[in-house]
């Protein structure tokens, strides 16, 4: 089996700082984690918040702290640092080799979409951003690492795209279409899913995103693996 993680990310139109932050980190007991945060508002202030949250979480995860505890620590940290005045959404998705599961951690009102062989469901129980209240707890869902499992997470720029013109992107329906179109074992490349969702959203905003947009897609495939771990980053200058 192989896990393929893909991220596509763009800034709000005409801003140089994205309020979204995403980092990937290796887990000390095997596997990887991707951490995504969206800081309140946009621009430099939001960037500082999301970056502070993601940094705290990856630093804890890389020391072996479990995802739920890392999310709670980030919440307490942000609450303390900013005196409960600033919020951020936080998502962690981990491939945990100790438990052979995918662990999804949410402090985000937005759902995480989970596609398995033939259906798409939303992990959408009520969940709050961190930073505003004491004792904010994350919701956690744990899934076995089965081939065909795909999860999609995103920041609110994706679902708010097009709202100015009364349009919007129904991410779940979009994913369902992909799943329905799948030929057996021929899963769409996660990077293509992420790119296409992002492109669709940018199009709804007429090429000028009204908010920062980040899309993260993780897939487990039955692909025969050559034991080589690969990572690739494209950074527009």
Residues that bind its own copies (CB under 8 A): 1-11, 16, 21-26, 28, 30-32, 51, 55, 58-59, 62-63, 95, 97, 145, 190-191, 194-195, 198, 220, 225-237
Residue 195 burial (10 A CB sphere; 0-12, 13-18, 19+): middle
Question: Minimum Å distance from CB 192 to its own copies?
Answer: 11
Secondary structure of residue 109 in the 3-state scheme:
coil
Question: Minimum Å distance from CB 209 to its own copies?
Answer: 9
Q: Do 133 and 197 form a contact (C-beta atoms < 8 A)?
A: no
Nearest to its own copies of 108, 212 (CB atom) = 212
Show the tokens assigned to 190: 């996660």
Q: Do 190 and 217 form a contact (C-beta atoms < 8 A)?
A: yes
**Euclidean distance between CA atoms 14 and 190, whole angstroms:** 28
Nearest to its own copies of 11, 136 (CB atom) = 11
Closest by alpha carbon to 10, among 224, 194, 220?
194
Closest by alpha carbon to 145, among 186, 217, 71, 94?
94
Closest by alpha carbon to 213, among 226, 223, 202?
202
Nearest to its own copies of 36, 139 (CB atom) = 36
Question: Minimum Å distance from CB 182 to its own copies?
Answer: 20
Question: Minimum Å distance from CB 40 to its own copies?
Answer: 18
Question: Minimum Å distance from CB 235 to its own copies?
Answer: 4
Nearest to its own copies of 128, 162 (CB atom) = 162
Nearest to its own copies of 171, 198 (CB atom) = 198
Return the bridge partners of 121, or none: 114
Nearest to its own copies of 164, 229 (CB atom) = 229
Secondary structure of residue 146 in the 3-state scheme:
coil
Question: Minimum Å distance from CB 78 to its own copies?
Answer: 16
Show the tokens assigned to 135: 């004792």
Question: Minimum Å distance from CB 68 to its own copies?
Answer: 21
Nearest to its own copies of 95, 151 (CB atom) = 95
At a CB cut-off of 8 Å and minimum separation 6, what does 116 contact? 146, 148, 149, 150
Q: Do 116 and 65 form a contact (C-beta atoms < 8 A)?
A: no
């Amino acid at each position: 089996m192989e896990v393929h993680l893909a991220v596509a990310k763009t800034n709000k139109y005409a801003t140089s700082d994205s309020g979204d932050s995403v980092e990937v980190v290796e887990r000390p007991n095997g596997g990887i984690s991707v951490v995504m945060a969206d800081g309140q508002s946009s621009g430099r202030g939001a960037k500082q918040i999301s970056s502070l949250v993601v940094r705290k979480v990856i630093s804890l995860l890389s020391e072996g702290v479990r995802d739920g505890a890392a999310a709670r620590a980030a919440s307490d940290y942000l609450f303390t640092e900013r005196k409960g005045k600033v919020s951020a959404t936080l998502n962690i998705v981990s491939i945990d080799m100790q438990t052979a599961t995918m662990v999804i951690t949410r402090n985000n009102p937005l759902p995480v979409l989970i596609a398995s062989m033939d259906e798409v469901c939303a992990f959408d129980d009520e969940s709050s951003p961190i930073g505003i209240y004491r004792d904010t707890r994350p919701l956690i869902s744990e899934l076995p690492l089965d081939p065909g499992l795909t999860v999609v997470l995103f920041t609110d720029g994706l679902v708010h795209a097009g709202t100015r013109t009364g349009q919007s992107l129904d991410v779940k329906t979009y994913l369902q279409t992909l799943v329905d179109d799948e030929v057996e074992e021929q899963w769409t490349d996660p990077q293509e899913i992420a790119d296409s969702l992002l492109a669709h959203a940018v199009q709804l905003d007429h090429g000028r995103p009204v908010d920062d947009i980040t899309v993260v897609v993780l897939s487990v495939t039955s692909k025969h693996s050559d034991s080589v771990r690969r990572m690739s980053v494209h950074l527009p200058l």
